[in-house]
Amino acid sequence: MKHKKHSVTGVILAGGTNSRFDGQNKAFIKIAGKSIVENTYSILKSLFKQIIIVTNQPEQYAEFNADIVRDIFFVKSSLTGIHSGLFYAKFPFAFVVGCDMPFLKTELIEALANQIKPHLDIIIPETAKGFEPLCALYSKKMLSAIEGKIKAEKFSIKGILNKAKTKRVPEKFLKTYDKNLISFFNINFPTELEKAEALLKKNSLC
């Protein structure tokens, strides 16, 4: 099914150190024969008019038809990646996602993008486990506020939510598009990779 492309920038954060995987870049871990970043890229490419990959290893992503950019602030923090994505975004809103989420659902991301309103600053999923800041939309209007937080060495993404015009997308709505909220599953440890492979074997991702 072909989706209408939104005038939104899709941003993939691929700047982690991967220390928990003995230096292996987890973006290129294969799940069901496809690397996580390849799967994420293809989903975002089907939905959004611009794709940015934020990475400090740009040579690894040369195969992708995307704008490959580096962090502007050299601090190991997701907030710096969001800042760089917004800085280079051509559109008023950017959908920001991590490079370690193998089970993203296109329908969920599109449903989030459909929540965009000009007066909003952030559109973020909220489940019983909390916020999902790396599967959320940010307005370019947040750029200076985020830069201020980075310069003040306050790197918590949640720290910007209360001071912004934030739309919290509730779990009930999210489950309409992703019954088991599997889109938010991410791989930070080898044990989570094992769990992902077990989920695939059980075919329990519907």
Q: What is the pLDDT of residue 48?
A: 98
What domain range includes position 180?
Answer: 6-202
* Distances in whole angstroms, Cα of residue 186 to Cα of each of 104, 107, 111, 152: 10, 18, 20, 29
Q: What is the pLDDT of residue 84?
A: 97
Number of domains in the chain: 1
Q: What is the phi-psi region of residue 186: left when phi exceeds 0, alpha when psi lies from -120 to 50, beta otherwise?
A: beta
Q: Are 128 and 171 in contact (CB under 8 A)?
A: yes
Interval 33-66: pLDDT, tens: 889 999 999 999 999 999 999 998 999 999 999 9
Distance CA 100, CA 111 (A): 21
* Within-domain flag for 35: yes
Distance CA 167, CA 181 (A): 18
* Within-domain flag for 143: yes
* Distances in whole angstroms, Cα of residue 9 to Cα of each of 95, 156, 175, 188, 189: 6, 22, 24, 25, 29
Interval 60-91: pLDDT, tens: 999 999 999 999 998 888 999 999 999 999 99
* Within-domain flag for 176: yes
* Within-domain flag for 134: yes
pLDDT under 70: residue ranges of the chain:
1-3, 16-24, 201-206
Closest listed residue to residue 86, CA positions, set 65, 72, 100: 72
CB atoms within 10 A of CB 53: 25
Q: Which two tokens stand for residue 46?
A: 């089907």
User: What pTM does this model have?
Assistant: 0.92
* Within-domain flag for 1: no
Beta-bridged to residue 94, according to DSSP, are 9, 138
For residue 122, the SS3 value is strand
* Within-domain flag for 146: yes
Residue 136: CATH number of its domain:
3.90.550.10
Mean pLDDT score across all residues of the chain: 90
* Within-domain flag for 76: yes
Q: Are 96 and 13 in contact (CB under 8 A)?
A: yes
* Within-domain flag for 36: yes
Distance CA 19, CA 191 (A): 14
Provide the greatest CA pair distance for the chain.
46
Closest listed residue to residue 66, CA positions, set 56, 58, 78: 58
Q: Are 77 and 85 in contact (CB under 8 A)?
A: no
